[in-house]
């Protein structure tokens, strides 16, 4: 069986403070977007290991056992020992550590694929519980519709937002932003020093208003460390973006354009640049 994990962008990201468990309370709106990877799972004909994992496309760094797809299998295997050995192949097309949630999507889609393929009969709520054990962003990809998120990002409330008809431009210059570092920089700033916005209210306003009402708290600290990202945002607005922002803790920048707009960019060829009509 094959599935196609998609990624997301964040519209607004308010960091409300650190929790006793070490995580941060936040508010954001997750929007799924049509940049996708490919994940295939088949029953293994070999009995040497539970999971034979392979990958192609963008290089997947780190220990294979730390991959969220592999973790998803082992998480379910604890409760469903009848799960057979599998072969799993991931074709990676979403930059990692870029604020797009590609790894989180892979883990969530792996849970759903294993559930469907091996008839585990898990409900959506049960899959969300498993997904949260993989990571704070993973539960969103079980729902995979626009959601207002609170808590660690796992408290999800569907919202009626449509970006249909807009153009979406993604730009990632290859800068790696460590999420832990970004949170640490914000933790050193009092919440009072950041703009507190009623995101749930502002997201319902016309998209043309978002530029003045919706912010990503990470932009201040990340742009200070990487001024090039501020330059990209400025360039997006210079090319008539209706709204432009950084997704998550970065470093992917995105712009939303009217369907009739003709963005004219000259970004360096090694950069990751994608253009979609939503």
Spatial CA neighbour of 111 closest among 82, 134, 84: 134
DSSP 94: S
The catalytically annotated residue of 8, 71, 92, 233 is 8
29 vs 148: CA distance, rounded Å: 4
Q: CB of 147 within 8 A of CB of 29?
A: yes
Q: What is the DSSP string of 193-219?
A: GS----HHHHTTS-GGGHHHH--BTHH
Question: Annotated catalytic, 137?
Answer: yes
Beta bridge partners of 51: 86
Which tokens sit at 143? Answer: 């729902």
The active-site residue, picked from 92, 137, 217, 233, is 137
Rounded-to-integer distance, Cα 141 and Cα 74, Å: 19
Phi-psi domain of 214 (left: phi exceeds 0; alpha: psi -120 through 50; beta: other):
beta
Would you give the distance in Å from CA 218 to the centre of its chain? 15
User: How many C-beta neighbours within 10 Å does residue 170 have?
Assistant: 22
Does 18 qualify as catalytic in the annotation? no
How far apart, in whole angstroms, are the C-alpha atoms of residue 158 and residue 21?
Answer: 26
Tokens 């990676």 label which residue? 92
Task: Report the distance separating Cα 233 and Cα 160, nearest Å.
Answer: 26
Count, residues in the chain: 278
Measure the CA–CA gap between 43 and 120, rounded to whole angstroms. 15
Go through 75-89 and write b for each residue having 16 or more CB atoms within 10 A of its CB, e for each that does not.
bbbeeeeebebbbbb
Give catalytic residue positions: 8, 137
């Amino acid at each position: 069986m094959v599935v196609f994990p998609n990624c997301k962008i964040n519209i607004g990201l308010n960091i409300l403070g650190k929790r006793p468990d070490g995580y941060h309370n936040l508010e954001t709106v997750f929007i799924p977007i049509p940049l996708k990877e490919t994940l295939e799972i088949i029953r293994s004909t070999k009995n040497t290991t539970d999971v034979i994992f392979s990958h192609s496309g963008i290089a997947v760094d780190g220990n294979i056992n730390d991959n969220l797809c592999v973790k998803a299998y082992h998480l379910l295997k604890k409760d469903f020992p009848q799960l057979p050995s599998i072969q799993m192949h991931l074709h990676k097309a979403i930059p990692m550590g870029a604020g797009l949630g590609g790894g989180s999507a892979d883990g969530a889609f792996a849970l759903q694929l294993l559930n469907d393929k091996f008839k585990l009969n898990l409900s959506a709520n049960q899959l969300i519980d498993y997904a949260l054990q993989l990571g704070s962003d993973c539960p969103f990809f079980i729902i995979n519709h626009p959601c207002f998120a609170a808590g660690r990002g796992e408290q999800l409330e569907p919202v009626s937002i449509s970006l249909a008809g807009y153009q979406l431009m993604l730009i990632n210059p290859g800068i790696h932003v460590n999420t832990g570092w970004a949170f640490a920089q914000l933790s050193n700033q009092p919440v009072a020093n950041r703009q507190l916005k009623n995101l749930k209210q502002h997201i319902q306003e016309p998209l043309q208003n978002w530029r003045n009402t919706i912010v990503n708290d990470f932009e201040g600290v990340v742009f200070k460390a990487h001024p090039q990202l501020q330059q990209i945002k400025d360039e997006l607005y210079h090319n008539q973006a209706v709204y432009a922002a950084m997704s998550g803790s970065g470093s992917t920048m995105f712009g939303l354009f009217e369907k009739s707009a003709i963005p004219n960019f000259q970004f360096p060829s090694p950069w990751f640049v994608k253009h979609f009509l939503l």
